[in-house]
Amino acid sequence: MNIKEEIKQNQFRNSFQEISINIIYTAGWLANQHKEFFNRFGITPQQYNILSILRGQYPGKISGAEIKSRMMDKNSDVSRLLDRLIAKNLVEKSQCPNDKRAADIAINSTGLDLLKSIDTSTKELDDIVSKLSSEEAEQLSQLLDKVRG
């Protein structure tokens, strides 16, 4: 279904307004699909993003500020997300030896095991956009990069 039918709007001011609304609408739709997927594993997409960042640093540690700078959603409350991941025993927090005010964060074996189980199902995430060919997906990604400048 096209965007005009989805939101029941017959016309847009111009094609730039239409694409902006389409991107926002599609981003919301994709976010809901991802939320449903990660719910099955007891985490949110933002928590998954943090776990993935930490896995990339494993076995090293990283600061909360560095995690925030790498997040896909720059408005995420990283402190709150980390507290929840610690409560779920997926990550560990330790005091930074160089700065007593800062904390170092590391993924633990439970977090790594969770990511391994998620990894076996990530094809489902690919399937969400599988109506596009590989070439179309690459082209769309390049166009979205261009929009962000």
Q: What are the boundaries of each domain within the chain?
A: 1-39, 43-148
Fold of 43-148: Arc Repressor Mutant, subunit A (1.10.10)
pTM given for the model: 0.89
**pLDDT tens string 33-46:** 999 999 999 999 99
HSE of 73, CA atoms in CB hemisphere, 13 A: 15
Residue 149 has pLDDT above 80, yes or no: yes
User: Which pLDDT does position 14 carry in this prediction?
Assistant: 97
